[in-house]
């Protein structure tokens, strides 16, 4: 017998013809030892797992710490990454969008891809892409409330640095056979439009820099570059700034699509523990408005949860005092996540085939409470929700037939 929700959303209750949707998932790569910057600042062996291990409940009903069912593994180990890739592919995740860090003086957290993903024997089972996480990297791991925020690595680069970044991306990443393309065009996302503009002397210079990036991509044998802009509604961190007119800006810079990173960027959390469906509905309202605001395809986001308390100093009073002391999301059960996916899929059905793309926050944002990897409470249920909603055939078939957005 179908539930009321299943009657309202037929694809939950009955098997219908497959609607091709590309499911991408953000991946935050700070769970491996040996990164030179972390070693210098945090000491030998430090990873963000250390914050997760130290987390504890901060208010009644607060579920911390989160405990990974696979253990505190080193994602730069190809064998560990092989397990992640297999789980993602088996459950309907098509793409890992890696949060990719590169500053004027070089890369950060690159071992996740360069050693883990590239070394994984099964990396042909899933596509990958880069989201240039070009925000300031600040000392908030953990953050003591009231302390001066120290910028460790500035997000803005200079024009020469940007050119080096483009060369690295084209030569090292776009050339990989598993790199994700849309209509043959490598997908490259930019997290912080403000920092992108700050990397150049003017809007005109920024456009020329991006046009040069396109030219390099074309010279490498691709028809073009697919530039995607992450656009926030509300900055998460007080040092971040939202451009005054992002719709005009993305057009002036020549972007090809727009997306979101996390629901929390667009929906304020009014309560210390805010209900998941309240945030979901607020984001769906934002999605509807964004489709009118931007004259570009908009790829929606589905967020699994939000709880940044592991990044807050555990001895400080916890409350809504500014990141990482923020309100949280509660009742983000696998069932509610499944419903959010189904509602998103239903809305995507009316889009052109090439625009049936969504992204999920996140594969492993453990210290922000948004992850698909199995924990000791829910196991694989969040991944199973993806498989149930999108009902993928065996991935062996998908390996012979390309993904929707990949020629």
pLDDT digit string (tens) for 287-331?
A: 999 999 999 999 999 999 999 999 999 999 999 999 999 999 999
Digit-coded pLDDT (tens) for 115-130: 999 999 999 999 999 9
CB-count exposure of residue 139 (10 Å: 0-12, 13-18, 19+) = middle
Overall average pLDDT of the 71-86 stretch: 98
Please choose, from the candidates 354, 351, 178, the residue with its C-alpha nearest in 3D space to the C-alpha of residue 256.
354
pLDDT at position 391 over 60 = yes
Long-range contacts of 335-340 (CB under 8 A, 24+ apart): 335/385, 336/276, 336/277, 336/280, 337/276, 337/302, 337/304, 337/382, 337/385, 338/12, 338/385, 338/388, 338/389, 339/5, 339/9, 339/12, 340/276, 340/280, 340/302
**CA nearest neighbour of 179 among 96, 114, 256:** 96
Please tell me the distance from the alpha carbon of residue 12 to that of residue 31, in angstroms, as a whole number. 35
CB 324 within 8 A of CB 143: yes
- Is pLDDT above 70 for 8? no
CATH superfamily of domain region 23-400: Glycosidases (3.20.20.80)
CA 345 to each of CA 95, 388, 392: distance values in angstroms, whole numbers, following the listed order: 16, 12, 13
Residue 58 has pLDDT above 80, yes or no: yes
More confident residue, 258 or 3: 258
Domain boundaries, the chain: 23-400
Give the residue among 235, 242, 239, 24 at the shortest CA–CA distance from 131. 24
pLDDT for the residue 18: 59
- DSSP, collapsed to helix, strand or coil, labels residue 302 as strand
Q: What is the pTM of this model?
A: 0.91
3-class SS shares of the chain: helix, strand, coil, % to 5: 35, 20, 45
**Three-state SS at 88:** helix
Buried b (16+ CB within 10 A) or exposed e, 243-267: beebbebbeebebbbbbbbbbbbbb
What would the mean pLDDT of 236-258 be, rounded to a whole number?
81
3-class state of residue 68 by DSSP: strand
pLDDT at 123: 98
Q: What does pLDDT average to over the chain?
A: 91
């Amino acid at each position: 017998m179908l539930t009321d929700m299943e009657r309202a959303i037929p694809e939950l209750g009955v098997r219908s013809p497959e609607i091709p949707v590309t499911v991408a998932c953000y991946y935050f790569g700070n769970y491996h030892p040996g990164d030179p910057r972390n070693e210098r600042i945090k000491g030998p062996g430090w990873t963000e797992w250390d914050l997760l291990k130290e987390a504890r409940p901060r208010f009644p009903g607060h579920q911390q710490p989160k405990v990974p069912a696979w253990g505190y593994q080193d994602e730069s180990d190809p064998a560990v990454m092989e397990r992640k890739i297999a789980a993602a592919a088996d459950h309907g995740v098509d793409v890992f969008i890696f949060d990719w860090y590169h500053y004027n003086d070089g890369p950060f957290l690159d071992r996740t891809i360069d050693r883990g993903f590239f070394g994984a024997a099964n990396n042909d089972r899933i596509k990958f892409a880069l989201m240039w996480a070009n925000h300031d990297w600040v000392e908030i791991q953990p953050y003591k409330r009231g302390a001066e925020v120290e910028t460790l690595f500035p997000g803005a680069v200079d024009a020469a640095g940007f050119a080096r970044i483009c060369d690295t991306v084209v030569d090292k990443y776009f050339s990989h056979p598993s790199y994700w393309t849309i209509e043959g065009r490598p997908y490259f996302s930019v997290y912080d439009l403000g920092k992108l503009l700050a990397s150049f002397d003017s809007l005109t210079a920024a456009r020329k820099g991006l046009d040069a990036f396109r030219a390099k991509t074309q010279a490498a044998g691709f028809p073009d570059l697919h530039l995607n802009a992450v656009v926030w509604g509300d900055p998460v961190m007080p040092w971040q700034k939202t451009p005054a007119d992002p719709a005009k800006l993305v057009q002036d810079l020549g972007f090809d699509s727009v997306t979101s990173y996390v629901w929390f960027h667009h929906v304020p959390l009014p309560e210390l523990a805010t209900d998941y469906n309240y945030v979901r509905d607020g984001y769906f309202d934002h999605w509807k408005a964004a489709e009118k605001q931007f004259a570009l395809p908009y790829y929606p986001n589905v967020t699994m949860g939000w709880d940044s308390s592991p990044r807050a100093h555990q001895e400080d009073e916890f409350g809504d005092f500014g990141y990482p002391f923020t309100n949280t999301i509660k009742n983000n059960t696998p069932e509610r996540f499944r419903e959010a996916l189904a509602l998103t899929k239903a809305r995507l059905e009316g889009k052109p085939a090439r625009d049936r793309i969504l992204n999920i926050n996140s594969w492993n944002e453990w210290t922000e409470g948004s992850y698909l990897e199995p924990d000791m409470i829910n196991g694989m249920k969040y991944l199973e929700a993806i498989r149930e909603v999108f009902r993928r055939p065996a991935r062996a078939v998908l390996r012979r037939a390309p993904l929707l957005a990949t020629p």
